[in-house]
């Protein structure tokens, strides 16, 4: 995980590569709740679990007080909800913002 002036970058890999690269950013408020947009920049575009992981990671980071977009690189063999929770828990345990 790295912090840059304009974004946070999170890399979680089991493959030794960046895997799928997603950009998650806050859009605005809808009925009092923050909304997020997730764009797949590189890699698997037909994997909704990756989008869900990036969205939840951005939501967790923004809740912790960071307003920057989150660049998420996921190179995982298989993404499960347990793996997603473990990745987000690890990111939140080591804040760089």
Distance CA 58, CA 52 (A): 10
The model's confidence at residue 5, banded by pLDDT at 50, 70 and 90, is very high
Domains and CATH numbers, the chain: 2-93 (3.30.230.90)
Q: What count of Cα atoms within 13 Å lies in the side-chain half-sphere of residue 52?
A: 11
Q: Is 81 exposed, middle or buried (0-12, 13-18, 19+ CB in 10 A)?
A: exposed
Calculate what percentage of the chain has a pLDDT beyond 90: 72
- For residue 30, the model assigns a pLDDT of 81
Tokens standing for 92?
């939140």
Whether the predicted pLDDT of 32 surpasses 90: no
Nearest to 38 by CA among 86, 50, 28: 50
Whether the predicted pLDDT of 79 surpasses 90: no
Q: What average pLDDT does the chain have?
A: 92
Q: What pTM was estimated for this model as a whole? A: 0.87
């Amino acid at each position: 995980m790295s912090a840059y002036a304009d974004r946070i970058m999170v890399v979680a890999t089991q493959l030794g590569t960046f895997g799928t690269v997603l950009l998650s950013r806050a859009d605005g408020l809808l009925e009092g709740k923050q909304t997020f947009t997730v764009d797949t920049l590189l890699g698997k575009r037909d994997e909704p679990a990756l989008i869900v992981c990036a969205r939840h990671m951005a939501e967790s980071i923004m809740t912790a007080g960071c307003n920057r977009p989150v660049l998420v690189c996921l190179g995982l063999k298989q993404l499960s909800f347990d793996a997603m929770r473990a990745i987000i828990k690890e990111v939140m345990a080591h804040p760089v913002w």
